Amino acid sequence: MSTNQPRNIVVGVAGGIAAYKACHIIRAFKEAGDNVRVVPTEAALNFVGKATFEALSGNPVSTTVFDAVDRVQHVKVGQEADLIVIAPATADLMSRVAMGRGDDLLAATLLVATCPVVIAPAMHTEMWFNPATVANVATLRERGITVIEPAHGRLTGKDTGPGRLPDPEQIVDIANAVHNGARLPQDLTGKNVLITAGGTHEHIDPVRFIGNSSSGRQGFALGEIAAQRGAKVTIVAGSTDNLPTPAGAEVVSVVSTQDMFDAVYQRAADADYIVMAAAVADFKPESLASSKLKKGADEDSLSTIKLVENPDILATTVTRRDAGQFPHNPVIVGFAAETGDEHTSALDYARAKLQRKGCDLLMCNEVGMGKVFGQKHNEGWILDSRGGVVEVEQGSKLDVAAQIWDAAVAFRSDS
């Protein structure tokens, strides 16, 4: 249920070096028209000053329950919140929240709030894996709080590992999806997820290719949500819009359909779920010129490019799975971008495609001029091979990805 009403968003900031990234989060919500209230901990103000938070949010900032006592601030901020996003959250803050303490304004706000809460931790790897932190994160998740997996990368010192705060844009996207109803249960923990994303390019010569305008956003959104639900994610990506790698995922870059086919087969035997969101070139030039074709000299080669068919990665994966080649017997999800015509609706074309490809689930988008391709939003249906249809409401690609994972996990557990 997305709404265009301004939302009351509380941005909580704990005392970690990544506190400066909260400024981008505050700005993103403000630019989207939201009313933002920043509630830092006292320690956070060692990293970013109160004046910065007040200027960016346009609202007063305090850390203690003893400010604005006449307005009963220690309950009002939490009661009025539509969404609470805490970034960064330290191990100390999560421990206080898990204990149910109310010893500063942020902790008290969380005790009162009934809205969705999204916590983005950032800390050194040792602290993240400390059994106390692990237990606190599990407690928060059990209570329905979304705890975002930290990214893997450079930390404050010379060390690297899991513990980095994900990009502010990723945090905002996840928080918006959670606000719109996306669930991030840890139901993919221990599962291997393989996703194809983006568009493939079929080269004609070293500088020209046949391609398409797929941005890769839907595939990356699927990777993002799967990683947040506990999966080990590999995305085999063709050309994309330079998207950031989702926290906790690995991206394998490929160019052509054959490359994508090969990369999928090297990994399919380990997969529990395979989702093919890539826009794959069905045909490739019969031959690849080793040097750039010239307008005059190579007129024939340029004006008539003979094409040959590429392998169908999805259909072949299904055939090999059904032949027992993949020990995890993965659930296989395909995509279809369809347009209807005067005889057949987009949905009917999708039903036929589901049967033809033999996959378990098919996400069908109705496309047309300006719809879906490269856009930030998506809508359509999820069809399953048992005859089920789920309508996918218009929402961001993360919202849609969460619904696809709900369907894929349900399909597996019903099998």
Q: Please report, as ranges, the residues that interact with ligand CTP according to CB under 6 A.
A: 196, 257, 276, 278, 280, 282, 310, 312-314, 334-336, 357
Contact 91, 41 (CB under 8 A): no
Least Cβ distance, residue 236 to ligand CTP (angstroms): 11
- Annotated binding residue 354: no
- Annotated binding residue 311: yes
Burial (CB < 10 A; 0-12, 13-18, 19+), residue 300, is exposed
**Comparison of 301 and 375: residue with beta carbon closer to ligand CTP:** 375
Short-list 292, 284, 296, 307, CA closest to 208? 292
Contact 75, 107 (CB under 8 A): no
- Annotated binding residue 292: yes
**Comparison of 73 and 257: residue with beta carbon closer to ligand CTP:** 257
Least Cβ distance, residue 310 to ligand CTP (angstroms): 5
DSSP class per residue in 120-156:
EE---HHHHHSHHHHHHHHHHHHTT-EEPPPEEEE-S
Short-list 89, 173, 408, 105, CA closest to 277? 408
Angstrom distance (rounded) from CA 114 to CA 76: 12
Angstrom distance (rounded) from CA 51 to CA 61: 8
Query: Which member of 212, 310, 329, 365 is catalytic?
Result: 212
**Parallel, antiparallel or unpaired: strands 117-121 and 146-147:** parallel
Angstrom distance (rounded) from CA 323 to CA 317: 10
Least Cβ distance, residue 383 to ligand CTP (angstroms): 12
Contact 109, 81 (CB under 8 A): yes
**Comparison of 53 and 335: residue with beta carbon closer to ligand CTP:** 335
- Annotated binding residue 92: no
- Annotated binding residue 56: no
**Comparison of 175 and 264: residue with beta carbon closer to ligand CTP:** 264
Q: What's the full length of the chain, in residues? A: 415
- Closest residue to ligand CTP, Cβ-based? 313
- Annotated binding residue 313: yes
Least Cβ distance, residue 149 to ligand CTP (angstroms): 26
- Annotated binding residue 195: no
**Comparison of 216 and 334: residue with beta carbon closer to ligand CTP:** 334
Least Cβ distance, residue 152 to ligand CTP (angstroms): 27
Residue type at position 5? Q
Pair of tokens at residue 399:
């919202």
- Annotated binding residue 314: yes
Q: Is 212 a catalytic residue?
A: yes
Angstrom distance (rounded) from CA 409 to CA 222: 13
**Comparison of 90 and 196: residue with beta carbon closer to ligand CTP:** 196
Sign of CA dihedral 131, 124, 109, 147: negative
Least Cβ distance, residue 137 to ligand CTP (angstroms): 34
Angstrom distance (rounded) from CA 311 to CA 154: 39
DSSP H helical segments within 276-387, as ranges? 299-303, 313-322, 346-357
Q: What is the DSSP letter of 46?
A: G
Which segments are annotated as binding site?
A: 282, 292, 311-314, 335, 353, 357
- Active site amino acids: 212
Binding-site residue numbers for CTP are 282, 292, 311-314, 335, 353, 357
